[in-house]
Amino acid sequence: MAQPLRVALIGQQFMGRAHSNAWGQAARFFELRRAPVLETVAARDPRALAAFARRWGWARWTTDWRTLAADERLDLVDIATPNHLHAAPAIAMLRAGKHVACEKPLAATLAEARTMRDAAARAARRGVRSFVWFNYRRCPAVALAWQLVQQRRLGTIRQVRARYLQSWGGPTTPLTWRFQKALAGSGAHGDLNAHLVDLVRFLTGQEIEEIHGAAARTFVTERPLPGRRGLRGASSGRARARRGRSDVDDCLLFVAGLSGGGLASFEASRVATGHHNDHGLELNGERGSLRFDFEDMNALWLHEPAPDGRRSEGWRRILVTAAEHPWLGRWWPEGHVLGYEHTFVNMAADIVGALSGRKPVVPLPDFAAGYETQRVLEAALRSVKARRAVKLGTVR
């Protein structure tokens, strides 16, 4: 019988659902030496929590995440709260000797991210591990791209184009934490460029050395307050009072230099009309190129030299669903495609594997990696503000 790995989760909405599903499914599909046990879920709303715990199979629930630190039963605490609420629980749980898996971006600010990285480094000396939910590394097609780059199939990488475009951030979208700098740190940038920066560092194995230039726009500066209060009425003075200031970027673009000498461009937007979760990357090397689009996530596009040269050269679409592909041997027969939730299940399985001495299929990001991504995010924000290039060496 597999040893239990007793998990607690903080947060019960979007990521709360994705993570609950992942912890619940991991041992059903993967052969694990430890089996995740869904012990406790913590969040704010007691009524919603009881129903959530029942639906997703959590044994207990609490509205006070602080009690988790003293709970001797727990091995790992999973943090799926708004960005400003990552640092305090992560540091408390690491101090209490619990492994921590935290959502991205690592924190709302670079200073918080630094304290988290340092706390994780101290905890690591006692065998306590940290993880960041950069789940897109665990799309099988992205992991295959990593393997191909590792095999040097592309040669020297000269250009990377990374985009993450969504369109849900129009003026009727309520002022949730995501549109408040004090809670989120930034807007589309921290939310979406965080994934892109992690993927570019991961796929190329290179560091971002300089932000050559960055620009941001806030198109919507006022939003209805969340809930019924803010959504009714529009034009009266009272209705206006039910609105609040949105002070984050809706769109942020930047260009960066890579340590291998190449260039990378990044685009994040929540107001790109027509794009829903248009998350894509293209890597152009001196020998070959790779392309990935999340909305067609079971495919990886590869361009390599053909034996007869230009006659039959072209882009090839690889359907990444064979047992030989990362994680696929544990899922369904070939051609039976995977979806968004599988990236989280693959990651939960790799975390559990790592905690029982197994090497993950592809590297798992820890708080040190999350901090490096946060430095890049911060450098881009400084570049926007100062309207000039920013070297990463100046951002610590």
Ligand X SMILES: NC(=O)c1ccc[n+]([C@@H]2O[C@H](COP(=O)([O-])OP(=O)(O)OC[C@H]3O[C@@H](n4cnc5c(N)ncnc54)[C@H](O)[C@@H]3O)[C@@H](O)[C@H]2O)c1
CB of 303 to ligand X, least distance (A): 28
Measured distance CA(320)–CA(337) in Å, rounded: 8
Whichever of 88 and 255 has its CB closer to ligand X, that residue is 88
CB of 92 to ligand X, least distance (A): 12
Count of other CB atoms within 10 angstroms of residue 44: 12
By the criterion CB under 6 A, which residues form the site for ligand X?
Answer: 10-16, 42-44, 65, 80-83, 85, 103-104, 133, 135, 191
Whichever of 65 and 367 has its CB closer to ligand X, that residue is 65
Whichever of 83 and 374 has its CB closer to ligand X, that residue is 83
Measured distance CA(89)–CA(126) in Å, rounded: 18
Closest CB to ligand X: residue number: 13
**Strands in the chain per DSSP E:** 3-10, 34-42, 60-62, 76-79, 99-102, 130-132, 157-165, 208-217, 222-224, 243-245, 251-258, 263-269, 278-285, 289-293, 299-303, 315-319, 390-391
In the beta sheet, which residues pair with residue 37? 6
Whichever of 289 and 343 has its CB closer to ligand X, that residue is 343
Whichever of 80 and 349 has its CB closer to ligand X, that residue is 80
Measured distance CA(184)–CA(372) in Å, rounded: 18
Whichever of 28 and 44 has its CB closer to ligand X, that residue is 44
CB of 206 to ligand X, least distance (A): 23
Contacts of 74 (CB under 8 A, 6+ apart): 6, 7, 8, 39, 40, 68, 98
Q: How far, rounded to the nearest angstrom, does the alpha carbon of residue 346 sit from its chain's CA centroid?
A: 14
CB of 218 to ligand X, least distance (A): 18
CB of 84 to ligand X, least distance (A): 9
> Tokens 């570019």 sit at which residue?
200
Q: How far, rounded to the nearest angstrom, does the alpha carbon of residue 314 sit from its chain's CA centroid?
A: 32
Contacts of 152 (CB under 8 A, 6+ apart): none
Measured distance CA(277)–CA(294) in Å, rounded: 7
Query: By three-state DSSP, how is residue 42 classified?
Result: strand
Whichever of 40 and 83 has its CB closer to ligand X, that residue is 83
CB of 195 to ligand X, least distance (A): 7
CB of 315 to ligand X, least distance (A): 27
CB of 126 to ligand X, least distance (A): 26
Whichever of 82 and 174 has its CB closer to ligand X, that residue is 82
Measured distance CA(276)–CA(297) in Å, rounded: 14
